[in-house]
Amino acid sequence: MPDKPSKNFIEEIVEKDLDENRYEGRVHTRFPPEPNGYLHIGHAKSICLNFGIAEKYNGKCNLRFDDTNPLKEGKEYVKSIIEDVKWLGFDWEDRLFFASDYFERMYELAVELIKKGKAYVCDLSNEEIRQYRGTLTQPGKESPYRNRSIEENLDLFERMKNGEFEEGSKTLRAKIDMAHPNLNMRDPVMYRIIKKPHYRQGNKWYIYPTYDWAHCLEDSFELITHSLCTLEFADHRILYEWFLDQLEIYKPQQIEFGRLNLTYTVLSKRKLSILVKEGYVNGWDDPRMPTIAGLRRRGYTPEAIRDFVERTGVSRTDSVVDYALLEHCIREDLNKRANRVMAVLNPVKVIIENYPEDKVEWLDAENNPEDKNAGFRKIPFCREIYIEREDFMEDPPKKYFRLAPDREVRLKHAYYIRCVDVKKDENGEIKEIICRYDPDSKGGWSKDGRKVKGTLHWVSARHCIDAEVRLYEHLFTKENPDEDEDFLQNINPNSLVMLKNCKLEPSLKDAKVGERFQFLRKGYFCVDKDSTAEKPVFNRIVTLKDSWAKIKNKLT
Ligand code: ATP
Ligand code: MG
């Protein structure tokens, strides 16, 4: 996969259309989510593509809610989608539309189609319609209601609309061709009776349009030029065009592109909503979720997500992208802008016996070596500090360069220390590590040029603040969670680890929700919305180990 693809095939189509003045020089796209769940990273691809094309060719992009099914849609989802698209950095100006606002016009056009003899009211049940449809190898069978008179159809359709019939007892169907090689053309359903209130229309409607009927009209009403959708709609394009041709109204061009999939997760609102409803995660914005809201809460930046989407390119086939690429993108972004700080996630105490009891030194620490403008801060040093438990070993193997009995290491920004003793509790667990420091190594460099191999991060025990830190792994244990019948059996039981006793340097005291840092040696972290003044909570966004760079090096 190239890092930065040049022009994609959709841009080539758009440029050709512009050259040929196909839509009087207009480029007008739309992002058409159904408000039946939160947006995920796959939607981000569609958003970037639609808004990106409009931006690049001086066109427009609408945000349109495809809210034609009252059963699963709701205001909460509308709100979250609006927030997510904005957060990604896109602007639809005054072009926020709702398909449900077009119900009246859609109804009138359906009446027109009936008048043209191109649609009829059918009394077959759903099951019967399926049986009559035939298969890829066998033609379908015509419905016994197919040849109702136009007058009868008009009357029945109006009564469907007025709520006179039971749910499931009638549909409105297009009258096309029951032997058509494309099954979508075998008299597809345009309206079904659903007696449920719509979140915006209330109880006004008893019939609701299907996707096939509604979507082409929505695009047509909004004078969309390029209607970009995912591959599963390729087989529906012929129907999309048939409806608009019969009605003789403005016809946009439908273009299909490959869906984005990610390893170790699922990208389907239906499945994500199972994870939420059945409590496998803590809501749509759980930091483990591949939703935009989840990624945002985890600490991802819009820039990193857009960079990721761009690198995955646009193609005519579905793709599965390595999760490591997404992580690589956030690392690259945060490397430039996240300040480095020190935090000890699994603390053990170190006592520096030759350092005066009451003394405190405020040492200079560079905020970000990648950004010279980020400046310095002061960090306190004193006799008792915390280091990571894993940074000390009583009986170290070869190549362990951290602290061990009689070993010397550097404390970042501070001094060299040497371990002289270890104190244990009654269970044999290490309670305190006794060290001596070299007063001539201030800043972490010895005067005599003596070298040490290990550099540890640490915090002052007297000044540090307590925090909870949440570490995450992939939500699923398999690259493709869907390879088994039930994706839920591949849930990773260790996807969340909460560390409740972490120690942070005091500069993090006023960190705000959403602020991001690099904890030296530990990764990039973001303040979670569960944070309180008493107990800050940080999410690990990503570790520092870049497995994507490794994969890429192997490939090239
Ligand atoms: P899901 O399968 O997750 O329910 P959907 O396609 O039903 O998704 P919509 O709300 O209808 O969700 O999608 C809005 C737009 O986003 C559509 O144009 C759809 O094609 C696009 N889209 C959805 N998922 C992806 C994906 N994984 N990659 C690229 N585009 C996507
Ligand atoms: Mg959908």
Please give the CATH topology (third level) of the domain spanning 269-339+468-555: Ribosomal Protein L25; Chain P (2.40.240)
* Mean pLDDT, residues 400-418: 97
Q: Which ligand is nearest to the CA of 43?
A: 1
Which of 325, 351, 342 shows the shortest CA–CA distance to 550?
325
* Mean pLDDT, residues 236-253: 98
Residues 507-528 have pLDDT tens digits of 999 999 999 999 999 999 999 9
Annotated catalytic residue, options 22, 118, 159, 259? 259
CA of 104 to the centre of ligand 2 (A): 22
Which of 349, 406, 407 shows the shortest CA–CA distance to 383?
349
**What's the pLDDT band for 456 if we cut at 50, 70, 90?**
very high
Identify the residues whose C-beta falls under 6 Å from ligand 1: 32-34, 42-43, 45-46, 229-230, 259-260, 267-270
Residue 3 has pLDDT above 80, yes or no: no
Helix (H) or strand (E) holding 190: strand 189-193
24 is catalytic: no
Average model confidence (pLDDT) across the chain:
96
Q: Lowest-confidence range among 84-98, 211-225, 397-411, 538-552?
A: 538-552
Ligand 1 nearest atom to the CA of residue 40, by list position: 3
Of 551 and 461, which is predicted with more confidence?
461
Residue range(s) of every CATH 3.90.800.10 domain in the chain: 104-210
Residue 63: the pLDDT is 98
CA of 552 to the centre of ligand 1 (A): 28
Count other Cβ atoms within 10 Å, centred on residue 399.
6
Residue 508: the pLDDT is 97
**H helices, E strands: number in the chain:** 13, 27
Report H helices in 94-206.
103-115, 126-133, 150-161
* Mean pLDDT, residues 231-235: 97
Residue type for 383, please? Answer: R
* Mean pLDDT, residues 122-149: 97
CA of 336 to the centre of ligand 1 (A): 32
Q: Give this prediction's pTM.
A: 0.95
Residue type for 96, please? Answer: L
What is the share, in percent, of the chain residues with pLDDT greater than 70?
A: 98
Residue 548: the pLDDT is 80
Strands 347-352 and 384-388 come out as antiparallel
* C-alpha dist (Å) from residue 293 to 51, 296, 358, 386, 477: 19, 5, 47, 35, 22
Residue 101 has pLDDT above 90, yes or no: yes
Q: Which of 8, 39, 46 to mutate to test the pocket of ligand 1 (most atoms within 8 A of CB)?
A: 46
269 is catalytic: yes
Q: What architecture does CATH give domain 104-210?
A: Alpha-Beta Complex (3.90)
Residue 556 has pLDDT above 80, yes or no: no
Residues 360-372 have pLDDT tens digits of 999 999 999 999 9
What is the share, in percent, of the chain residues with pLDDT greater than 90?
A: 97
Residue nearest to atom 23 of ligand 1 (CA): 43
34 is catalytic: yes
Residue 553: the pLDDT is 65
CA of 42 to the centre of ligand 1 (A): 7
Residue 4 has pLDDT above 70, yes or no: no
Tell which CATH classification among 2.40.240.10, 1.20.120.1200, 2.40.40.20, 2.30.30.140 matches the domain 343-464: 2.40.240.10
How far the first Cα of the chain sits from its last, in Å, is 11
Annotated catalytic residue, options 15, 34, 241, 432? 34
* Mean pLDDT, residues 272-287: 98
CA of 11 to the centre of ligand 1 (A): 20
| Beta strands, E only, 56-115 | 60-65, 96-98
Residue 354 has pLDDT above 60, yes or no: yes
**What's the pLDDT band for 492 if we cut at 50, 70, 90?**
very high
Residue 478: the pLDDT is 97
Q: Which of 29, 41, 43, 65 to mutate to test the pocket of ligand 1 (most atoms within 8 A of CB)?
A: 43
Burial class of residue 6, CB neighbours in 10 A (0-12, 13-18, 19+): exposed
